[in-house]
């Protein structure tokens, strides 16, 4: 099955009923052939048999058929004409052309050794932008950029971090690659000043105590005890654990930087038990397939299950354990400069946010209300 990702829509859309679907498919195949289109996509469908007919006719014409994956996982009853009356459903087809612009962007990003997540994000926002504007890259102007960012901010209610990533993606392609200057004039939105959610030490202990699975416990203990990002803990290798120096080596972290962080005595004890039982080879925490590491999504599910077991109702992610690690170190008297080093922050201002969530100083401040003499009442 082919992916949409290598193609860009020309926005020649049509809808038709399944009652006359065969006729419309023939018409669209002829149109696609006349335009020498390499692919024809169906993105909205209500009938498996119509989708199969589409696939056969398009393939026969030497054009790649692209069909949304949900057609294969829809309930069987959905394809029962008598029950669901799907004969009145409509298809939505799009002519697609090979997107060489995106391919050039992908190659440039990979040649510069950008991370997988950055490449994925940059490709997504550049595709999304072209789909929204409906223009070729050569015809893009400053107004188009601003319209798209306004669309993200107002209609999609995107977070500031999302807008910043979209700006970086567009700036790289149009500014760095195509040498267009209008992108540089886009004003970046102010970042939302949100404080991270932090767990108390008691809450962390409850979460870790609720995990019975040795592998799951080892993962969560390492994240909290060393302040790891979820993408870092899943990519650890056995040789990254330095039990002699009591350090963990993090290779190729955010910004492609290596660093060392703490190895806890308690975490090491759990790791040794885990090692004896699981005997990991290439990756410290292997996935379903031994040659692959465990997915970040699986680690998030592990934490969510642990929180339910522990009765923790805060809306948290694996990154919350990293925030809690930094905050608890700060409350324990560790200097901010050392915390910055352990977390791998490039700038001290990033680390300073933990001074706003630490209760070390705040707990010593007395509310002015507590110093007032107020007559007790309200018992009636």
Instruction: Return the active site residues.
Output: 229, 254, 319, 322, 345, 354
Could you give the 3-state DSSP secondary structure of residue 279?
coil
Torsion-angle region of 133 (φ positive above 0: left; ψ -120 to 50: alpha; else: beta): alpha
CA distances 302 to 215, 230, 296, 298, Å, are 10, 12, 10, 6
Task: Name the pairing type of β-strands 90-98 and 241-242.
Answer: unpaired
Tokens 């507590």, residue located: 370
C-beta atoms surrounding 370 within 10 Å: 6
Integer Cα distance of 352 and 143 in angstroms:
37
Please give the structure tokens belonging to residue 273: 């038990």
Q: Taking Cα atoms as reference points, which of 174, 180, 178, 183 lies closest to residue 143?
A: 183
Cβ 312 vs Cβ 199: under 8 Å: yes
Cβ 77 vs Cβ 27: under 8 Å: no
Cα dihedral 230, 231, 235, 238 in deg (nearest 10): -30
Helical (H) or strand (E) element with 270:
helix 265-278
Cβ 174 vs Cβ 183: under 8 Å: yes
Could you give the 3-state DSSP secondary structure of residue 293?
strand
DSSP strands (E only) in the chain? 7-17, 39-44, 64-67, 90-98, 241-242, 247-250, 259-262
């Amino acid at each position: 099955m082919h992916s949409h990702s290598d193609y860009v829509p020309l926005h020649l859309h049509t809808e038709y009923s399944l009652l006359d679907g065969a006729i419309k498919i023939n018409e669209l195949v002829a149109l696609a052939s006349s335009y020498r289109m390499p692919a024809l996509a169906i993105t909205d469908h209500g009938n498996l048999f119509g989708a199969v007919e589409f696939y056969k006719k398009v393939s026969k014409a030497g054009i790649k058929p692209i069909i949304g994956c949900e057609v294969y996982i829809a309930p069987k009853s959905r394809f029962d004409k008598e029950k669901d009356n799907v004969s009145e459903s409509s298809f939505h087809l799009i002519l697609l052309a090979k997107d060489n612009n995106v391919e050039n962007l992908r190659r440039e990003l990979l040649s510069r050794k950008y991370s997988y997540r950055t490449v994925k994000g940059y490709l997504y926002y550049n595709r999304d932008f072209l789909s929204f504007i409906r223009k070729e890259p050569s015809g893009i102007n400053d107004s188009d950029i601003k319209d798209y960012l306004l669309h993200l901010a107002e209609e999609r209610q995107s977070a500031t971090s999302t807008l910043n990533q979209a700006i970086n993606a567009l700036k790289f392609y149009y500014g760095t690659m195509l040498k267009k200057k209008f992108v540089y004039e886009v004003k970046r939105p102010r970042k939302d000043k949100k404080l991270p959610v932090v767990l108390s030490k008691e809450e962390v202990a409850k979460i870790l105590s609720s995990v019975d699975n040795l592998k799951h416990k080892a993962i969560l203990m390492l994240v909290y005890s060393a302040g790891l990002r979820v993408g870092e803990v899943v990519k650890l290798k056995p040789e990254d654990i330095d039990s002699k120096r009591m350090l963990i080596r993090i290779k190729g972290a955010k910004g492609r930087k290596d660093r060392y962080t703490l190895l806890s005595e308690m975490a090491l004890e759990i790791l040794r038990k885990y090692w004896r039982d699981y005997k990991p080879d290439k990756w410290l925490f292997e996935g379903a397939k031994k040659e692959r590491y465990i997915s970040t999504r699986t680690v998030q599910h592990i934490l969510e299950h642990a929180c339910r077991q522990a009765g923790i109702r805060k809306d948290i992610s694996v990154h919350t354990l990293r925030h809690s690690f930094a905050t608890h170190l700060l409350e324990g008297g560790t200097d901010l400069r050392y915390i910055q080093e352990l977390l791998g922050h490039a700038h001290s201002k990033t680390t300073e946010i933990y001074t706003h969530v630490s209760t070390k100083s705040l707990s010593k401040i007395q509310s002015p209300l507590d110093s007032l003499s107020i007559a007790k009442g309200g018992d009636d």
